[in-house]
Every structure is written in C-alpha cells, then in structure tokens.
Amino acid sequence: MGQLKITQCPMEGLYVIEPTVHGDSRGYFMEVYNQKEMQAAGLGMQFVQDNQSMSTKGVLRGMHFQKQYPQGKLVRVIRGRVFDVAVDLRAHSKTYGRWFGVELTGENKKQMYISEGFAHGFLVLSDVAELCYKVTDYHRPGDEGGIAWNDPQIGIAWPEVGRLHLNERDQKWEGLGKP
C-alpha cells in the first residue's frame, strides 16, 4: 500500500491527496509527494517550481488562472487553515463553471491537485496560514487572469470569516461569462 491516498474529486482533473502520517512522541514523518504513486494514479505531471505564501485571517486570494501558460498546482497548508477552491474553466468540459472546495489544514495534511484549466483561490480561516504549492509551469508575469470570487453564476459557498481582505486586482475581476 502506498503512502498517499489519492481521491478523484467530483470533477475530472481535481484530486484530494492524503499522506500517511507516521507519528510518535518525537513528532511525525510523511511523504508529501511521490512521483511513482502519482503516476500509478494517472497523474503524470512534472513540477518545475515550488511556491509558498503566508496570509492572515479573512484574506481571500483568487480566483486566478494563467492565460497562455496554464499551471497544474499541488497545494497544501503547512500552518493554519484555508478553504481551497478550484473552478473549472475548460470550455468543453461537462463541469464548466462548477466549483469544488476543500479545507486544507496544517493538521489534516490534505493536499489538492488542481489540473491545468482551472481557476484557483483560497480563503484563510485561521489567524495565519502558510501554503506551499508545486506548479507544472513557471510563473510568467503578465500571464495571470482571474474571475470574480463572488460570481453568482458560479456560486462558491465561502465559509463565513467576518471581514474579507482582497487586494485591488482581486476586487476587479469580472464574472465567468460563457465559454
């Protein structure tokens, strides 16, 4: 049996990944990524860059995507709690415009793999949260697009956290529209 439990989400291209955590009085050990196990589950992506971000409670980052150079993302939280969301932007997908969300925490150690063709965002639920994510293509300034985090056509059910904090750019994205 592998060290990673890989579960296909209700939308093709999204996976929740749960590592086997080996703990004792000293702490714990876990594999967060195993290429052989990912390939055995049909996930043959190759990562080229690791990113990390820190945000405070109520920060909503997203919903972002890359226009010309899409990225697959393997997202995990190493401290705190977030509600992590992906929206299907693949024009010919039967789930176009649908969203899926999962709570990722430093305690539950779940990860979400988001394939190319999805918008991604998250809302910080704890006082502070740190995210780490691997991506399948390099960051290219000027290639980022976005959709409105509160688009009624999508209807993301964000958890209540009090006051939201969005940067100016994330407040200005337009709705999804038609594929």
Q: Write out the two tokens for 162.
A: 């009090």
Residue at 75 is within a domain = yes
CA–CA gap between residue 105 and residue 75 (Å, rounded): 11
Residue at 177 is within a domain = no
> Is the pLDDT reported for residue 3 higher than 90?
no
Residues paired with 43 in a beta bridge: none
Residue at 179 is within a domain = no
Nearest to 51 by CA among 137, 169, 122: 137
Per-residue model confidence as pLDDT tens digits over 109-164: 999 999 999 999 999 999 999 999 999 999 998 999 999 999 999 999 999 999 99
Residue at 31 is within a domain = yes
Nearest to 43 by CA among 13, 9, 2: 13
Per-residue model confidence as pLDDT tens digits over 26-36: 999 999 999 99
Residue at 158 is within a domain = yes
Using 50, 70 and 90 to split pLDDT, how confident is the model at 179?
low
CATH classification at residue 120: 2.60.120.10
Specify the residue for token string 């999805």: 118
Structural domain total, the chain: 1
pLDDT of residue 122: 98
pLDDT of residue 177: 76
Average pLDDT over residues 98-103: 98
Residue at 178 is within a domain = no
CA–CA gap between residue 113 and residue 73 (Å, rounded): 6
Residue at 126 is within a domain = yes
Residue 43 lies in domain: 4-172
Average pLDDT over residues 49-74: 97
Average pLDDT over residues 7-31: 94
Q: What is the pTM of this model?
A: 0.94
> Is the pLDDT reported for residue 77 higher than 60?
yes
CB 26 within 8 A of CB 100: no
- The DSSP call for residue 37 is H
Which amino acid, 129?
A
> Catalytic residue positions?
64, 133
CA–CA gap between residue 171 and residue 69 (Å, rounded): 23
Residue at 53 is within a domain = yes
Instruction: Specify the 3-state DSSP secondary structure of 170.
Output: helix
Q: What's the mean pLDDT when you consider all of the chain?
A: 95
> Is the pLDDT reported for residue 91 higher than 60?
yes
pLDDT above 90 covers a percentage of the chain that reads: 96
> Is the pLDDT reported for residue 1 higher than 60?
no
> Is the pLDDT reported for residue 82 higher than 90?
yes
Q: How many CB atoms lie within 10 A of CB 119?
A: 23
pLDDT of residue 178: 63
